[in-house]
């Protein structure tokens, strides 16, 4: 018999572009939701200007990602979507490159991430500092 459990995280990202590691939050959720079982964890950010990435953190990759996004999506006046802060239209393009979701395997109640992988919220929108992230576990 399968079960479904979900939880909404509140994350404050601040007034700078950020990569926020959510791995510990995901693990805490799975302790309650998976109870040692197998299944899938879905991580979803219900915002039009943020995404979920699986990447290494703490060794510069998170900063490298933000630098790459600044290069690919400069905060200038080229964007047709013009409300908000200057260059805000680029924030609305972000989810096409960093999707708003990730689905990850859970084995024995634990995330099956690679050695250096972390689950991260990517937020380039400095006008919206409060984010929600939905964690959902579907398993046995």
Task: State the residue for tokens 């109640």.
Answer: 109
Q: Is the pLDDT of residue 79 over 90?
A: no
Which is higher by pLDDT, 134 or 140? 134
Q: Is the pLDDT of residue 83 over 90?
A: no
pLDDT band at 56 (very low <50, low <70, confident <90, very high): very high
63 to 13, 47, 57, 122: CA distances (angstroms): 15, 22, 9, 11
Q: Is the pLDDT of residue 84 over 80?
A: no
What is the rounded average pLDDT for all residues in the chain? Answer: 94
Handedness of CA 69, 132, 47, 110 (dihedral sign): positive
CA atoms within 13 A on the CB side of 85: 14
Measured distance CA(23)–CA(102) in Å, rounded: 12
**Per residue in 18-40, is it b (16+ CB within 10 Å) or e — as a string?**
bbbebeebbbebbeebbeebebe
Where do the H-state alpha helices sit in the chain? 23-33, 61-72, 89-97
Percent of the chain whose pLDDT exceeds 70: 100
Domains and CATH numbers, the chain: 3-139 (2.60.120.460)
* Residues 114-130: tens digit of each pLDDT: 999 999 999 999 888 89
Using alpha carbons only, how large is the chain's radius of gyration in Å?
16
């Amino acid at each position: 018999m399968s079960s479904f459990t979900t939880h909404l995280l509140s994350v404050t990202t601040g007034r700078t572009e950020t990569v926020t590691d959510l791995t510990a939050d995901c693990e805490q959720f799975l302790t309650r939701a998976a109870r040692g079982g197998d299944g899938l964890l879905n991580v979803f950010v219900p915002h039009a200007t943020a995404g979920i990435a699986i990447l290494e953190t703490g060794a510069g990759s998170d900063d490298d990602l933000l630098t790459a996004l600044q290069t690919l999506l400069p905060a200038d006046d080229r964007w047709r979507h013009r409300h908000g802060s200057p260059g805000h239209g680029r924030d609305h393009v972000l989810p096409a490159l960093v999707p708003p979701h990730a689905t990850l395997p859970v084995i024995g109640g634990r995330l099956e991430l690679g050695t250096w992988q972390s689950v991260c919220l990517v937020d380039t929108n400095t006008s919206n500092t409060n984010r929600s992230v939905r964690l959902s576990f579907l398993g046995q």
